[in-house]
Amino acid sequence: MATRILVLEGDGIGPEITAATLAVLRAADAKFGLGLAFEHADIGWTAHKACGTTFPDAVETQAKAADGVLLGPVSHNDYPPRAQGGLNPSGELRKRLDLYANIRPARSREGFPPRCGKSVDLVVVRENTEGFYADRSMHVGPGELMPTPDLALAIRKITRQGSTRIAEAAFKLAMQRPRRKVTCVHKSNVLRVSDGLYLECTRAVAAKYPQVAYEERIIDAMAALLVRDASQFDVVVTTNMYGDILSDEASEISGSLGLAASLNHGDAHGVAQAQHGSAPDIAGKNVANPASLIGSAAMLLAWLGERRGDDKLTRSAAAIEAALDRVIATPDGRTPDLGGKLGTDAFGARVAQTLG
């Protein structure tokens, strides 16, 4: 069965780390006979220059038709206003494809110790379609407004559906992991209504999974506990903004944000996306670390394999992760951000060779 992947390179270091990732995917395709077929489309500044928008409508159509999407980082903070075509491709994909779950693992690698304390192996399950994010709070218009020059307001949206389905995703994931533990992060002591609803929904889902250990942590305490000992956590489920912040913290603690893979998925679509940004300051210098996007691509293959019951996709994902581990374990197999000297393309080639 053919697997169609839509490739969106993005901005900054996006084209470089995407090329390295494709080298690894092609090696996996050759080894496991996955039948991968790559289709390319422009987003970001390239698309804006060509057609006046950073996210053409045709890309949405292509993404929905593909089996999965490989998304490079984008420089959306530098884009012009929406009225001038400056749409955030990442946010648009999450909304239009209903990618409600953002799965962000943070795992220590052999030979590359964590920055704080003990070995880390946790996953942040982040709600992806509502919360504090202004571009996801309203049907029409942004969730921020400024009635006067001296007053700015932001709207936070929490729904029963959104809270329940992200909790379900977290507990289903926990059932697949040895420790079977879920930590729910919230701030219901202050945000009693919105986080109160989220907490109510999460507790209701927890009651359906007696095999999973369940605990709750307030967001500020959770941030401190991660620094103290992140090894105590397994699956961490939380709302959008909290999850964005905690996952970056956890990834840096476990080793480096350059290793931080990420998968956005809903019930029908999946998008592999590195957890970090587009790093325009090092774009074109062949020094960016592609490990995060390579790991994200592996997560996409694993997600597709689970959905289809396809053992080849599942095994290829595990093989890519194992190849990443073997390369990173040796000092001469690391990019500059990890203290090594390997270039972006050479790192991709090394992982592809190790996989093959």
Number of domains in the chain: 2
pTM: 0.95
Count each helix (H run) and each strand (E run) in the chain, helices first: 11, 12
CA 99 to mean position of chain CA atoms: 11
Q: Do residue 66 and residue 89 come from a single domain?
A: yes
Residues 127 and 64 in one domain: no
Residues 160 and 281 placed together within one structural domain of the fold = no
* pLDDT recorded at residue 92: 94
pLDDT value, residue 142: 84
Q: Are residues 243 and 289 in the same domain?
A: no
Residue 203 sits in the same domain as residue 302: no
Say if residue 90 is in the same domain as residue 192. Answer: no
Do 249 and 270 belong to one domain? no
Sheet with 121-127, side-by-side order of all strands? 36-40, 3-8, 68-71, 270-273, 263-265, 101-107, 121-127, 235-238, 181-186, 213-218
Q: Give yes or no: residues 126 and 249 share one domain.
A: yes
> Looking at the domain assignment, is residue 108 inside a domain?
no
For residue 133, tell me if it sits in a domain. yes
Q: Tell whether 224 and 176 lie within a shared domain.
A: yes
Q: Any idea which residues carry the catalytic annotation?
A: 133, 187, 220, 244, 248
Predicted local confidence at residue 135, as pLDDT: 81
Do 230 and 338 lie in a common domain? no
Domain boundary among 254, 275, 299: 254
Q: Is residue 314 part of a domain?
A: yes
Are the CB atoms for 191 and 225 separated by under 8 Å? no
Give the per-residue pLDDT at 356: 80
Q: Is residue 104 part of a domain?
A: no
Q: Find the helix or strand (DSSP H, E) in which 173 lies.
A: helix 160-175
Q: Which of these three, 254, 278, 308, is where a domain ends?
A: 254
For residue 214, the domain's CATH number is 3.40.718.10
The number of C-alpha atoms within 13 Å of 185 and in the hemisphere containing its C-beta is 29
Same domain flag for 94 and 214: no
Same structural domain for residues 127 and 235?
yes
**Within a domain: residue 105?**
no
Whether 109 is in a domain gets the answer no
The pair of structure tokens assigned to 11 is: 């901005």
pLDDT at residue 257, as a whole number: 86
Instruction: Give burial (CB, 10 Å; 0-12/13-18/19+) of 86.
Output: middle
List per-residue pLDDT tens for the chain, 356 residues long: 789 999 999 999 999 999 999 999 999 999 999 999 999 999 999 999 999 999 999 999 999 999 999 999 999 999 999 999 999 999 999 999 999 999 999 999 888 888 877 889 999 999 999 998 888 888 888 889 999 999 999 999 999 999 999 999 999 999 999 999 999 999 999 999 999 999 999 999 999 999 999 999 999 999 999 999 999 999 999 999 999 999 999 999 998 888 999 999 999 999 999 999 899 999 999 999 999 999 999 999 999 999 999 999 999 999 999 999 999 999 899 999 989 999 999 999 999 999 98
Q: For residue 354, what are the CA distances in angstroms to 109, 292, 301, 323, 327?
A: 16, 17, 18, 6, 8
Taking Cα atoms as reference points, which of 185, 273, 331, 288 lies closest to residue 6? Answer: 273
- In a domain, residue 323? The reply is yes
User: Which residue stretches of 286-343 are H helix?
Assistant: 291-308, 311-328
Give the domain range for residue 244: 114-254
Q: Both tokens of residue 297? A: 């691509």
The answer to whether 202 and 212 are in contact (CB under 8 A) is no
Give just the sign of the alpha carbon dihedral 115, 176, 246, 288. positive
Select from 254, 278, 301 the last residue of a domain. Answer: 254
Query: 178 Cβ partners below 8 Å, 6+ apart?
Result: none
